[in-house]
Structure 1
Amino acid sequence: MRRDGRAVDKLRPVSYDLTVMKNSEDSCCIKIGNTHVICTATIEDKVPSFMKGQRKGWVTAEYSMLPRCSTTRVPREHSKNTISGRTQEIQRLIGRTLRCAVNLTLLGERQIIIDCDVINADGGTRTASITGGYIALYMACRRLVKLGIVPTLPVVRQVAAVSCGICEGTALLDLTYDEDKDADVDANFVIGDQNALIEIQACAEGKAFSTSQLMQMLDLAQIGTKELFKLQTEALSLA
């Protein structure tokens, strides 16, 4: 039994609040346990310079943690005039995995920016950003169709992400911060519908892990993302 009473293969409670940001095209606040992330979508009728002339669009992301989303204050990165390596790595992860959800040619020469702002952090902020970011992205693409800007929905794959880990020899799904900081192995899985693997990040924290343990975590990740797909679909049906 885990510290919060969950079984090894259970997610924390998951919920979505849609259109929480009234000035953005579309938005979603995803809550997974005590990790809460606001994901907003912005549509721009332009693409980055390296995409010009290719007759297709782009999806990118930015990620940040609000100063008191954690137990100790996280300094605003702009106050240090730099973006940390962690932030760059996470926002690149979010952007490239969400691009797997979209046919960029169908999107046309426009860009969708997904902003992910962590307002409460308790482990799994990057995976929550991807899972909630997909909802904001889907709603933005659906808006383009409703407005007649694109002829057909450019979303071609559902995408969700979840963390897993090995704690005291046991594989666990959806780690809290306390579980994550003590884990022997920390892993993140980004999975598309029909069990399409999009990205796997796994790191041993001082103790190597086996192929068998990796597969145990993958099995848990597939259980978790299957549930997240269901919840995403339910949320989008109400939007």
Structure 2
Amino acid sequence: MTPTNTPLRQGRDALQYRPLTVKRGVNPHAPGSAHLIMGRTEIVATITLDDKPAPHMRGKKEGWLTAEYAMLPRATTDRQARERNLQNGRRHEIQRLLGRALRASVDLKPFRNQTLYVDCDVLVADGGTRVASILAGHAALHDFCDALINTGKLSEWPIVHNVGAISVGLIGQEIRVDLDYAEDKVARADLNVVATDTGKIIEVQGGAEEGPIDLTEYTTLLQTGVVAVQSVMGDMARQLAVIQGL
């Protein structure tokens, strides 16, 4: 039952994520790319391989992966100014999350003295942009690695974990998966759960919004998020079945 005075879910139940579609190879200039739509949130992710090591990785046995995140001016209801060298704390926080999540998925030894850039751009935002960016970035990495394998530039599949993410929150007393913007605004607590398709946790962000929650509620939120990530990754695997490793 939907709690009183809380947003409706437009036909999906509490534990159902929004309709997901993902397509790879959408940018002809990038060696790896993906376009992901989750509900009304829409992300394009592209991969760039730079033949220069990150400064802190010089002389190391592996390469580096870094992520950048940006939102188009009309991705939201009101226009936002373009981020031209602006110090935006939220953007930097999301970029660090994306980098940590995606580095956990790839063996970077084949990219020694190189840097992988994953650019995630939000075309339309309706909640969950950071988790959708992780999903889009992971799909773009698969597109990139698939091309390397098919062209003989790599002999072994470098993605060691299929990594996904989902938001989960408490709306009243109800746990809901994949919050849209209207739900996120009224959640008592919400988490962004980053995990593998085998149920291993990589990172959890979030907490209570309207006062403390108890350990049982937090644990249930986390368990629900991990299970939802596995479902999302299964859905992506079916859509991207042509990609080796999924």
- TM-score of Structure 1 vs Structure 2, range by shorter chain: over 0.9
The alignment-based identity, stated in percent, is: 36
Give how far 1:158 is off.
0.4
Q: 1:136 aligns with which of 140, 145, 161?
A: 140
Contact 2:201 2:226 in 1 (8 A): no
Matching residue within 103, 111, 127 for 1:99:
103
Whole-angstrom distance in 1 between the partners of 2:174 and 2:168? 10
Is the aligned partner of 1:39 residue 2:39? no
Counterparts of 1:81-230 in structure 2, within 5 Å, are: 81-230=85-234
Change (3 A) 1:232 1:107: farther
SS in 2 for 1:237: coil
TM-fit CA distance, 1:172: 0.8
Tell me the amino acid that sits aligned with residue 173 of structure 2. G
1:14 — aligned with what? 20
Q: Distance in 1 between matches of 2:176 and 2:214?
A: 15
* Runs of 4+ residues deviating >6 angstroms: none
Any idea what SS the aligned residue of 1:8 has?
coil
Partner of 1:232: 236
TM-score (norm 2): 0.92
Q: State the number of aligned residues.
A: 237
TM-score by length of 1: 0.94
| Distance in structure 2 (CA, Å) of the matches to 1:110 and 1:153 | 17
Higher helix share: 1
Give the SS at the match of 2:65.
Answer: strand
Gaps of 5+ in 2: 3-7
Q: Work out the CA distance in 1 between the residues paired with 2:120 and 2:159.
A: 19
Moved more, 222-231 or 29-38: 222-231
Q: CA deviation at 1:222?
A: 2.2
Partner-residue secondary structure (3-state), 1:238: coil
How far does residue 114 in structure 1 lie from its aligned partner after superposition?
0.7
Report if aligned partners of 1:165, 1:186 keep a CA contact under 8 Å in 2. yes
1:33 CA displacement: 0.2
* Conservation of the 8 A alpha-carbon contact between 2:166 and 2:193: yes
- For residues 215 and 80 of structure 2, the distance between their equivalents in structure 1, rounded to whole angstroms, comes to 36
Give the deviation of 1:198 after TM superposition.
0.2
Distance 2:140 2:112 in 1: 18
